[in-house]
């Protein structure tokens, strides 16, 4: 019986980069580039990844990186792909790698424009649910109830439902993913790679300093987000909604862990009262009732 | 100089620039509609639909995305173009600086127009001149012919390996964009020879690089120093390119500045853009009346042709700078530049602010100013209200 041997693998995204301890971004990028291959261009707007990508002396990426202004990545990617395609280069995957602030706030118009034009790009939003690089300020994708430096009393508004908004643009592919379910994530990147037109992947990306949890608990936190139903894993392919991975088992409420388990792991929710936690639980249950309708379709 | 029977067309400014763009064969364009530029976008759309121009036109949702998308296309090796005006130019400002800082070849036509508030669709130069520090070469046309010529030249200058800078071609909103003139155009083959295919591509999978990462304080200033030097080198390249174009077209091109009857003049106007034509009429009338008047027309604003200006103006009895834009709390933008250039010379420089927001200016207004100067009756700065 041979022992399990971990094959020697050269990472596609080098270690020793400037990510914080416990940050999932380098691993998320490593997986992404492993599946997409070398003929990938990354377009990176102002975000944590701007820092992680190094400086004028070098970068951890093994593929070309185009840095972008905060609100411009979908437009820059549109230009790159049009130029490559007019040259006859059909294989290159032009990929935006953007945070939630760029995606849902400042770059939202540009993202919507690119989706409406069905540009041949893969847009990945790594969602750490606030402006983390500038020091934890709320974004439109910060969840209700979360503490940030600009919502010291907890955010009062809802998280913008970005995957559904993008799906309403009738693009060929929209999916959610999580670093805790790596095969599901890989499979979605693989599928997105084969599709032409605008593809959107939304990764929930737990942030230890921003969410106030111990840096060894990144995967546990990501996993609980899925198991409690806070972050459903799904894909919408040509308008057809499909739950994936463990989320397929969560339609029945009794299979979902209580949201309190997810919230209590994170310091950003510590000011929530039991009443408020109950309210959040009800909202999640309501969301799953909506998902049920989508699955039935 | 060749004497050729040139093909002539009657075109409004926007269509003349669109025609020059078609002949320059960009591969990727992105333009967002804004008055008074829009009819150019419409004409370009027609060229692409009819396959007279084989290019991708990205129909973006804003000017910010227009410049961002051609920036991406330019990095990937395409010849690129955009056009805008006023609020649109302001809205794309972040990306204007972005492209200038990264030193990416591209051409933007700016149909100059006043800036709101209050709303105005009429001409002045405030939009164009607000981009003077964005590391872009800036040229300004006097008439439809110049707008056509400069557009073709702009691609060549922008892509010259000694320069590698974006180029902005300004031409007055409505006054040129919507005025039909008879112009001479080059044959398509002549433009092909003048503009060889672009050799530039930063996306290399065998040697991947990061474009525009964080620069440490040690490095950042070096990038900017290189940009300053490129801008200085551009002066020579612009003259060279325009001379070559002059040989091909058989039409005088005038380089960085045009001197109109200023060699033996004692009093000189300094202008940019379309009203230079009205000013020439004023100069002719003044000459007829025995006044030794002249005009120095600034064709290239960035890089600012200090050496040429100094050469022409250093011994004048009086210089009147006509500005269609103003730096509030300071002075006329062109006037300030001319004063700085003539620092150390005993040349009186007067600033006249006129035509702001499209206010009509005629040759007689220019004549009046110079008559007041001769009669020792002109203030250092005068607004023609």
Q: Which helix (H) or strand (E) holds B374?
A: helix B363-374
The Cα B232–Cα B50 span in angstroms is 41
Residues B199 and B269 in one domain: no
**Three-state SS letters, B330-373:** CEEHHHHHHHHHCCCCCCCEEEEECCHHHCCCCHHHHHHHHHHH
User: What is the tens place of the pLDDT at every residue in A20-40?
Assistant: 999 999 999 999 999 999 999
Question: Of B203, B233, B249, which one is at a domain's C-terminal end?
Answer: B249
Read off the pLDDT of each residue in A199-216 and give the average, rounded to a whole number. Answer: 98
Residues B114 and B239 in one domain: yes
What 8-state DSSP symbol labels residue A245?
A: G
The answer to whether the beta carbons of residues B247 and B2 sit under 8 Å apart is yes
What pLDDT does A3 receive? 59
- Compute the average pLDDT of residues B339-359: 97
Is B71 domain-assigned? yes
State chain B's mean pLDDT as an integer: 96
Phi/psi for A89 (5° steps) reads: -85, 100
Given a cut of 80, is residue A214 above it in pLDDT? Answer: yes
In a domain, A18, yes or no: no
Residue B309 inside a domain? The answer is: yes
Residue B308 binned pLDDT confidence (cut-offs 50, 70, 90): very high
In-domain check, residue B2: no
Angle at Cα A39 formed by Cα B164 and Cα A12, nearest 5°? 110
* H or E element, residue B278: helix B275-288
- Using pLDDT thresholds of 50, 70 and 90, give the confidence band for residue B178: very high
What span, in angstroms and rounded, lies between the C-alpha atoms of A97 and A66?
Answer: 10
Measured between CA atoms, how close is A188 to chain B, in angstroms?
Answer: 24
| B204 in the same domain as B125 | yes
- What does the pLDDT read at residue A297? 59
Give the closest residue to A143 by CA, choosing from A165, A255, A135, A151.
A151
Provide the pLDDT confidence category of residue B144 given band limits of 50, 70 and 90: very high
User: Containing H/E element for B239?
Assistant: helix B217-249
The pLDDT > 70 percentage for chain B reads 99
Model confidence at B262, pLDDT cuts 50, 70, 90, reads: confident
Domain that holds residue B189: 7-249
Task: Kindly state whether residue A131 falls inside one of the protein's structural domains.
Answer: yes
pLDDT band of residue A1 (cuts 50, 70, 90) is very low
Same-domain status, B95 and B207: yes
- Which of A65, A78, A109 is nearest residue B58 as measured by Cβ atoms? A78
- Report chain A residues whose CB lies below 8 A from the CB of B80: 79, 83
pLDDT band for A2, please (50, 70, 90 cuts): low
Per-residue pLDDT for B204 more than 80? yes
Residue in B closest to A67 by C-alpha: B212
Q: Is A55–B213 a contact, with Cβ atoms under 8 angstroms apart?
A: yes
Same domain, B293 and B242: no
Question: Which residues, 6 or more positions from A243, have their beta carbon under 8 angstroms from its beta carbon?
Answer: A232, A233, A234, A250, A251, A291, A295
Across the interface, whether the CB atoms of B69 and A76 are under 8 A apart is answered yes
Apex CA B170: angle with CA B164 and CA B176, to 5°? 145
CA distances to A3, B75, B108, B349 from A52, rounded to whole Å, are: 36, 22, 33, 53
Is residue A255 included in any domain, yes or no? yes
Greatest CA span in chain A, whole angstroms?
59
| Domain end position, chosen among B249, B271, B292 | B249
Whether residues A86 and B65 touch (CB distance < 8 A) is answered with no
Render pLDDT for A131-172 as a digit per residue (tens, 0 to 9): 999 999 999 999 999 999 999 999 999 999 999 999 999 999
pLDDT score for B210: 96
Question: What domain range includes position A224?
Answer: 25-296
Does residue A15 lie within any of the structural domains? no
Mean per-residue pLDDT for B262-286?
A: 96
Q: Which helix (H) or strand (E) holds A202?
A: strand A199-204
The verdict on residue A101 lying in a domain is: yes
Report the percent of chain A where pLDDT is more than 70.
Answer: 97
Whether residue A7 lies inside any domain: the answer is no
Residue B2 has pLDDT above 80, yes or no: no
Residues B4 and A289: their CA atoms lie apart, in Å, by 78
Rounded CA separation B185/B145 (Å): 8
- B28 to A51: CB separation less than 8 angstroms, yes or no: no
CATH number reported for the structural domain that contains residue B269 in this entry? 3.40.50.920
- Could you say which of B222, B249, B276 is where a domain stops? B249
Q: What is the mean pLDDT of residues A175-191?
A: 98
Residues B179 and B298 in one domain: no
Which among B129, B147, B157, B151 is positioned nearest to B304, based on CA atoms? Answer: B129
- Alpha-carbon dihedral sign for residues A203, A209, A213, A214: positive
Number of domains in chain B: 2
C-alpha distances out from residue B208 to A88, B279, B355, Å: 20, 53, 50
Residue at B131 is within a domain: yes
Are B275 and B325 part of one and the same domain?
yes
Nearest to B333 by CA among B320, B318, B323, B341: B323
Indicate whether B285 belongs to any domain.
Answer: yes
Mean pLDDT of A187-206: 98
* Bridge partners for A144 per DSSP: none
Find, in chain B, the residue whose alpha carbon is nearest to that of A119: B58
Residue B23 lies in a domain: yes
**pLDDT in the model for residue A7:** 65
- The beta-carbon neighbor of B56 closest among A64, A86, A116 is A86
Question: Do B137 and B21 share a structural domain?
Answer: yes
The per-residue pLDDT of chain A, averaged, comes to 96
State the DSSP H helix or E strand holding residue B93, giving kind and residue range, or none if neither.
Answer: helix B93-102
Quote the ipTM score.
Answer: 0.96
| Contact flag B30-A68 (C-beta cutoff 8 Å) | no
The reply to whether B223 and B358 lie within a common domain is: no
- Give contacts of A68 with chain B, Cβ < 8 Å: 68
Compute the nearest-CA separation of B43 from chain A (Å): 21
Could you give the 3-state DSSP secondary structure of residue A122? strand
- Collapsing DSSP to helix, strand or coil, B192 comes out as helix
Q: Which residues of A fall within a CB distance of 8 Å from B30? A: 75, 79
Q: How far lies B147's CA from each of A256, B66, B296, in Å?
A: 67, 21, 18
Q: Is residue A5 part of a domain?
A: no
Q: What is the pLDDT of residues A81-109, one digit of tens each?
A: 999 999 899 999 999 999 999 999 999 99
Of B154, B94, B86, the closest CA to residue B302 belongs to B154
| pTM recorded for the entire structure | 0.96
Signed CA dihedral, B203, B208, B213, B219: sign only = negative
Work out whether strand A93-99 and strand A122-127 pair parallel, antiparallel, or are unpaired.
parallel
Residue B67 belongs to a domain: yes
Cα A58 to the center of its chain, rounded Å = 25
- Work out the average pLDDT over A258-273: 98
Tell me if B209 and A64 make a contact (CB, 8 A cut-off).
yes
Q: What distance lies between CA B209 and its chain's CA centroid?
A: 33
Report the C-alpha gap between A229 and A225 in whole angstroms: 6
Residues of A in contact with B209 (CB under 8 A): 59, 64-65
The CA distance from B267 to B269, in Å, is 7
Q: Is the pLDDT of residue B1 over 60?
A: no
* pLDDT tens for each residue of A40-75: 999 999 999 999 999 998 999 999 999 999 999 999
Work out how many domains chain A is built from and give that number: 1
Q: For residue A89, what is the domain's CATH number? A: 3.40.50.970
Residue in B with minimal Cα distance to A117:
B59
How many beta-carbon pairs below 8 A join chains A and B? 152
Q: Which residues pair with B140 in a beta bridge?
A: B170
Is the same domain home to B55 and B180?
A: yes
Task: Report residue B171 CA to chain centroid gap.
Answer: 7
Q: How far is CA B296 from the centre of its chain?
A: 16
Q: Are A50 and A44 in contact (CB under 8 A)?
A: yes
pLDDT > 80? residue A5: no
Q: Of A168, A271, A288, which Cα lies nearest the Cα of A226?
A: A288
A-contacting residues in B 265-304 (Cβ below 8 Å): none
User: CA-to-CA distance for B113 and B173, rounded, in angstroms?
Assistant: 6
* Cα(A114)–Cα(A121) distance, integer angstroms: 9
The H or E element spanning position B158 is helix B144-159
**Residue B111: what pLDDT?**
98
CATH number of the domain where residue B22 is located = 3.40.50.970
Residues B230 and B262 in one domain: no
Mean pLDDT (whole number) for A208-225: 98
Residues A152-171, buried b or exposed e (16+ Cβ, 10 A)? eebbeeebbebbebbbebeb
């Amino acid at each position: 019986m041979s022992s399990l041997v971990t094959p020697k693998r050269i990472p596609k995204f080098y270690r020793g980069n400037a990510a914080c301890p416990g940050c999932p971004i380098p691993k998320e990028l490593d997986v992404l580039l492993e599946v997409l291959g070398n003929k990938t261009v990354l377009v990176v707007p102002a975000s944590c990844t701007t820092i992680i990508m190094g400086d004028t002396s070098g970068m951890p990426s093994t593929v070309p990186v185009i840095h972008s202004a905060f609100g411009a990545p979908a437009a820059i990617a549109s230009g790159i792909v049009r130029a490559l395609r007019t040259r006859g280069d059909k294989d290159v995957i032009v990929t935006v790698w953007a945070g939630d602030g760029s995606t849902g706030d400042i770059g939202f118009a540009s993202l919507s424009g690119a989706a409406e034009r069905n540009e041949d790009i893969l847009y990945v939003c790594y969602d750490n649910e606030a402006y983390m690089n500038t020091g934890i300020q709320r974004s439109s994708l910060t969840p209700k109830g979360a503490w940030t430096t600009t919502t010291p009393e907890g955010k009062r508004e809802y998280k913008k439902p970005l995957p559904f908004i993008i799906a309403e643009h009738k693009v060929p592919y929209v999916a959610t993913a999580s670093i805790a379910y790596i095969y599901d994530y890989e499979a979605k990147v693989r599928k997105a790679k084969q599709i032409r037109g605008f593809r959107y992947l939304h990764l929930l990306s737990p942030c230890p300093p921003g969410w106030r949890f111990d840096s060894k608990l990144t995967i546990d936190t990501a996993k609980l987000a899925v198991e409690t139903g806070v972050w459903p894993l799904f894909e919408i392919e040509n308008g057809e909604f499909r739950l994936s991975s463990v989320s397929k088992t969560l339609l029945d409420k009794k299979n979902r862990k209580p949201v309190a388990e997810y919230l209590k792991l994170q310091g950003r929710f510590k000011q929530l009262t039991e009443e408020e936690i109950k309210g959040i639980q009800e909202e999640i249950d309501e969301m799953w009732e909506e998902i049920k309708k989508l699955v039935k379709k | 100089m060749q004497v050729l029977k040139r093909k002539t067309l009657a075109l409004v400014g926007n269509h003349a620039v669109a025609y020059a763009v078609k002949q320059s064969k960009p591969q990727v364009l992105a333009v967002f509609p804004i008055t008074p530029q829009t009819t150019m976008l419409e004409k370009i759309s027609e060229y692409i639909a009819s396959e007279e121009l084989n290019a991708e036109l990205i129909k973006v949702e804003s000017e910010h995305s227009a410049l961002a998308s051609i920036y991406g296309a330019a990095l990937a090796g395409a010849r690129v173009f955009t056009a805008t005006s006023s609020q649109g130019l302001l809205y794309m400002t972040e990306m204007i600086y972005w492209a200038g800082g990264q030193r990416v070849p591209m051409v933007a036509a700016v149909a100059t127009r006043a800036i709101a508030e209050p709303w105005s669709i009429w001409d002045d130069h405030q939009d164009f001149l607000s981009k003077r520090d964005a590391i872009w070469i800036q040229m300004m046309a006097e008439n439809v012919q110049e707008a056509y010529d400069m557009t073709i030249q702009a691609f060549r200058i922008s892509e010259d390996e000694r320069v590698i800078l974006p180029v902005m071609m300004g031409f007055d909103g409505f006054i040129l964009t919507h005025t039909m003139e008879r112009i001479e155009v080059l044959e398509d083959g002549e433009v092909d020879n003048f503009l060889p295919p672009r050799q530039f591509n930063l996306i290399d999978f065998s040697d991947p690089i990061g474009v525009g990462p964080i620069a440490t304080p040690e490095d950042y200033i070096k990038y900017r120093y290189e940009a300053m030097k490129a801008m200085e080198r551009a002066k020579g390249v612009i003259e060279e390119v325009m001379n070559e174009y002059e040989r091909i077209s058989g039409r005088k091109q005038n380089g960085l500045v045009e001197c109109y009857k200023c060699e033996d003049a004692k009093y000189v106007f300094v202008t940019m853009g379309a009203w230079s034509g009205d000013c020439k009429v004023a100069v002719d009338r003044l000459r007829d009346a025995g006044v030794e008047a002249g005009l120095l027309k600034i064709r290239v604003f960035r890089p600012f042709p200090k050496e040429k200006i100094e050469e022409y103006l250093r011994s004048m009895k009086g210089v009147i700078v006509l500005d269609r834009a103003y730096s509030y709390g300071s002075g006329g933008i062109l006037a300030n530049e001319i004063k700085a250039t003539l620092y150390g010379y005993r040349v009186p420089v007067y600033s006249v602010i006129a035509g702001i927001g499209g206010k009509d200016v005629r040759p007689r207004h220019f004549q009046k100013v110079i008559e007041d100067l001769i009669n020792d009756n002109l203030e250092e700065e005068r607004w023609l209200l």
